[in-house]
A and B are shown apart, each in its own frame.
Chain A
Amino acid sequence: MRAAALTGLGAHRPALRVDNHAIAERIGSSDTWIRERSGIVTRGVSAEDETVVDMATVAGGKALAAAGVDPVDVGLVLLATCSMPGPLPGGSPEVASRLGATTAGASDIGAGCAGFTYAVALAADSVRAGSADHVLVIGSEKLLPMVDPDDRGTAFLFGDGAAAAVVSVSTTDGIGPVVWSHDGAQFERLVIDGSPRKLRMEGRAIYRWATTSLPDLARRACARAGIEPGELAAFVPHQANLRITEAVVKSLALPPSVVVARDVVESGNTSAASVPLALARLAEQGQVRRGDAVLLLGFGAGLTAAGQVVRCP
């Protein structure tokens, strides 16, 4: 059986930052109110002419360079996103084309904020099965054009950005079995629809689902990888809201030795881009090192969730 591992990471954080003060006035709140409810201090906002594909291409190129993988050797490009301008075409073929991944397959993954961890699972299985030697997995989101600046529940929550990882054939497995789930009965909790398209979210219901169901999923993902949660080097959940992260950390009783990603403070909720952005930040800061066991946990619209323990590239 072939093995699969993460071999490179790349992040693209938009140059433009927007702090809470710029958002708070319009929704009749304050910097403090936003921090208390979400932990968010600032977020990246893509330039008006900067697209999901633009950001994905930058992040993907960085990840390939970090992995030392030539684009022509990429067998598959998976782009997790929910914020392409329209349903067709997907963004992944253009990303692959721009990067020079001329012989790769390309497909978008639509699993909302869980998109990246779903894509990593599919990528690892593709590599193990021999369908590809290298898979470029990207999360890229341009959410702010779909966020209602007058909605007190969501105006402050989201940010734009992209990040990517390369999954490569390896001598030892560095990507644990995925544990995934859904609660499709709650499909209406987080929706992007209408014309122009707007994002609607029932934050309280999602908070409840997340804090009550994710700890079990996280424990099962660790068990499948043969590691205790307390033995992890780091925990990188989807950066939905710091309150969800802290509730799950508390429920898992993670010791202080486990580094917890809190990139939401700096980046806001970037949906499918948040897990790789947060992992890349920990790696850039030296908080995780090559070979460290990290639990990735994506969750969001659908509702869907997926988690796996990976070895840091």
Chain B
Amino acid sequence: MTTTAPAELLAGLAEVLEEVAGTPADKVVPEAAFDADLDIDSLTMVEVVVACEERFGVRIPDEALEQMTTVGDAVSYISGAAA
């Protein structure tokens, strides 16, 4: 699989968040926390992760999901899983 650059991943994640949770793209920055800053609760986060799995062709297990606090965490994980 081809590696996707982090900037592209961030943009892709922003599109997923907008589609799943209606999150404005300009709020999706690496330091943004999903729950505190983006108001994404735990079940919405599952929908985000499932959408990311489809879009980026990666598998994100529940154990990894538990460690994803910020947008940057998600981008790092997806980038590592897709490499």
Q: Measuring CB to CB, which residues of chain A are less than 8 angstroms from any residue of chain B?
A: 36-37, 202-205, 207-208, 211-212, 241, 243, 247
Mark contacts of B6-42 with chain A using CB atoms, 8 A cut-off: 1 yes-contact digit, 0 otherwise: 0000000000000000000000000000000000011
Inter-chain contact total with CB atoms closer than 8 Å = 27
In the complex the two chains form, is A211's CB within 8 Å of B47's CB?
Answer: yes
In the complex the two chains form, is B46's CB within 8 Å of A204's CB?
Answer: yes
For residue B49, which residues in chain A have a CB less than 8 angstroms away from its CB? Answer: 208
Given contacts A204-B65, A205-B62, contact A211 B41 (CB under 8 A): no
- Rounded to whole angstroms, the CA-CA distance of A142 and B43 in the bound complex is 26
Closest to B53 in A: A212
For residue B46, which residues in chain A have a CB less than 8 angstroms away from its CB? Answer: 204, 207-208, 211
B50 is contacted by which of A36, A202, A205, A212 (Cβ under 8 Å)?
A: A212
In the complex the two chains form, is B50's CB within 8 Å of A204's CB?
Answer: no
- Rounded to whole angstroms, the CA-CA distance of A243 and B42 in the bound complex is 11
A211 is contacted by which of B45, B50, B62 (Cβ under 8 Å)?
A: B50
For residue A241, which residues in chain B have a CB less than 8 angstroms away from its CB? Answer: 43
- Rounded to whole angstroms, the CA-CA distance of A36 and B45 in the bound complex is 14
For residue B47, which residues in chain A have a CB less than 8 angstroms away from its CB? Answer: 211, 247
9 cross-chain pairs, A with B, having the tightest CB-CB distances, nearest first: A208-B46, A205-B62, A243-B43, A207-B43, A207-B46, A204-B42, A204-B46, A212-B50, A37-B41
Closest to B66 in A: A204
The contact sample of 9 A-B pairs, CB cut-off 8 A, is A37-B42, A204-B42, A204-B43, A204-B45, A204-B65, A207-B43, A211-B46, A212-B50, A247-B47
For residue B50, which residues in chain A have a CB less than 8 angstroms away from its CB? Answer: 208, 211-212
Closest to B60 in A: A208
Distance (Å) between the CB of A287 and the closest chain B CB?
27
- Rounded to whole angstroms, the CA-CA distance of A130 and B46 in the bound complex is 46
Known pairs A204-B62, A204-B65; list 17 more (Cβ under 8 Å): A36-B41, A37-B41, A37-B42, A37-B43, A203-B42, A203-B43, A204-B42, A204-B43, A207-B43, A207-B46, A208-B46, A208-B62, A211-B46, A211-B47, A211-B50, A241-B43, A243-B43
Closest to A36 in B: B41
For residue A202, which residues in chain B have a CB less than 8 angstroms away from its CB? Answer: 62
- Rounded to whole angstroms, the CA-CA distance of A202 and B50 in the bound complex is 17
Closest to B45 in A: A204
For residue B43, which residues in chain A have a CB less than 8 angstroms away from its CB? Answer: 37, 203-204, 207, 241, 243
Closest to B44 in A: A243
Which residues 43-69 of B have a CB within 8 angstroms of A? 43, 45-47, 49-50, 62, 65
For residue A205, which residues in chain B have a CB less than 8 angstroms away from its CB? Answer: 62
For residue B42, which residues in chain A have a CB less than 8 angstroms away from its CB? Answer: 37, 203-204
Distance (Å) between the CB of A187 and the closest chain B CB?
15
Distance (Å) between the CB of B83 and the closest chain A CB?
24
- Rounded to whole angstroms, the CA-CA distance of A243 and B62 in the bound complex is 18
Distance (Å) between the CB of B55 and the closest chain A CB?
15
- Rounded to whole angstroms, the CA-CA distance of A211 and B43 in the bound complex is 10
Distance (Å) between the CB of B38 and the closest chain A CB?
15
For residue A37, which residues in chain B have a CB less than 8 angstroms away from its CB? Answer: 41-43
Closest to A208 in B: B46
- Rounded to whole angstroms, the CA-CA distance of A36 and B42 in the bound complex is 11
- Rounded to whole angstroms, the CA-CA distance of A247 and B62 in the bound complex is 19
- Residue in B43, B45, B47, B49 whose Cβ sees the most chain A Cβ within 10 Å: B43
For residue A211, which residues in chain B have a CB less than 8 angstroms away from its CB? Answer: 46-47, 50
Distance (Å) between the CB of A59 and the closest chain B CB?
31
Distance (Å) between the CB of B46 and the closest chain A CB?
5
- Rounded to whole angstroms, the CA-CA distance of A204 and B43 in the bound complex is 6
Closest to B62 in A: A205
